[in-house]
A and B are shown apart, each in its own frame.
Chain A
Amino acid sequence: DIVMTQSPDSLAVSLGERATINCKSSQSVLYSSNNKNYLSWYQQKPGQPPKLLIYWASARDSGVPDRFSGSGSGTDFTLTIDSLQAEDVAVYYCQQYYSSPQTFGQGTKVEIK
């Protein structure tokens, strides 16, 4: 199985500041045949199901604010939230879908400082 490790486990950021979450996979999730990274990011607020934010490592899902961005390739990925808003308080998960079983990171909790 591909192990996904997120860092940090939690972080507190002031409103309007940048939050950065890292995700590292135990093996590359870049498929050379199509040059796509099989990596997505989800946001989960309390009492709600996860919501897709980013897929193919950097493609923003429909309706996701442009303050959310994804970057990285191979084994190292980053989710950046520019200008953190109060509604961004949540747990964020990365997921690889390069190989079965699909696996998730352990989650990163983002709070307001």
Chain B
Amino acid sequence: QLQLHESGPGLVKPSETLSLICNVSGDSISSRSYYWGWIRQPPGRGLEWIGSVYYSGTTYYNPSLKSRVTISVDTSKSQFSLRLTSVTGADTALYYCGRHGYFGVRGPYYLDYWGQGTLVTVSS
């Protein structure tokens, strides 16, 4: 059974960099059939896709965050990571990692597995 687990600091100061890791277990992060993504949800609000990465390092980013976001993959550690620079209070959210299906046409697709999420608060 696939499991994803987010980890990282729960508190980040304004203007600093938010860094999270998603550990993947129960399946190969190097599979050609999946992308791996980050999604966030501000408290009491809806879902926002941040971006996704393929095992090869190919990435897709949300243009609204693109200038501040880097998503990378480390297949040797079976993990992928999120870096978000110059954070503000608007970046306070529950951050989820997830797995996207993909079979090569207009991907990545829907998210079939999600981590439990990690709350990141931006505050001094």
**Residues on A close to B: CB < 8 A?**
1, 31, 33-34, 38, 40, 42, 48-52, 55, 61, 93, 95, 97-107
- A-B contacts, 19 of them at CB < 8 A, read A38-B109, A40-B109, A40-B110, A40-B111, A49-B96, A49-B117, A50-B114, A52-B111, A52-B112, A93-B46, A95-B110, A97-B107, A101-B62, A102-B108, A104-B47, A104-B49, A105-B46, A106-B46, A107-B47
B29-46 residues at the A interface, CB under 8 angstroms = 46
Within the complex, what minimum Cβ distance (angstroms) separates A45 from chain B?
Answer: 12
Q: Are B115 and A102 in contact (CB under 8 A)?
A: no
A55 to B47, CA, bound (A): 17
Tell me if B's interface is mostly helix, strand, loop or mixed: loop
Q: Which residues of B contact A99 (CB under 8 A)?
A: 106
Q: Give the interface of B toward A (CB within 8 A).
A: 46-49, 60-64, 96, 98, 100-101, 105-112, 114-117
Instruction: Knowing that A49-B98, A97-B106, A107-B47 touch, tell me 6 more A-B residue pairs with CB under 8 angstroms.
Output: A38-B109, A50-B111, A52-B111, A99-B106, A102-B49, A104-B47
When chains A and B are docked, how far (Å) is the Cα of A15 from the Cα of B63? 42
CB neighbours (8 Å) of B60 from chain A are 100-101
What is the CA–CA distance of A52 and B115 in the complex, to the nearest angstrom? 12
- Chain A, Cβ-Cβ closest to B60: A100
Query: Once the chains are docked, how many angstroms separate the CA of A49 from the CA of B22?
Result: 15
**Given contacts A49-B115, A93-B46, A104-B47, A55 and B110 within 8 Å (CB-CB):** yes
Given A31-B105, A38-B106, A103-B112 contact (CB < 8 Å): no
In the complex, A40→B114 CA distance in Å?
Answer: 14
Asked whether B109 lies within 8 Å of A101 as measured between CB atoms, the reply is no
A56 to chain B, nearest CB (A): 8
Q: What is the bound-complex CA distance between A50 and B4, given in angstroms?
A: 13
B98 contacts across to A, CB distance below 8 A:
49
**Chain B residue nearest to A50 in the complex (CB):** B114
Q: How far is the CA of A61 from the CA of B114 in the complex (A)?
A: 14
Measured CA separation A14–B61 after assembly (Å)? 41
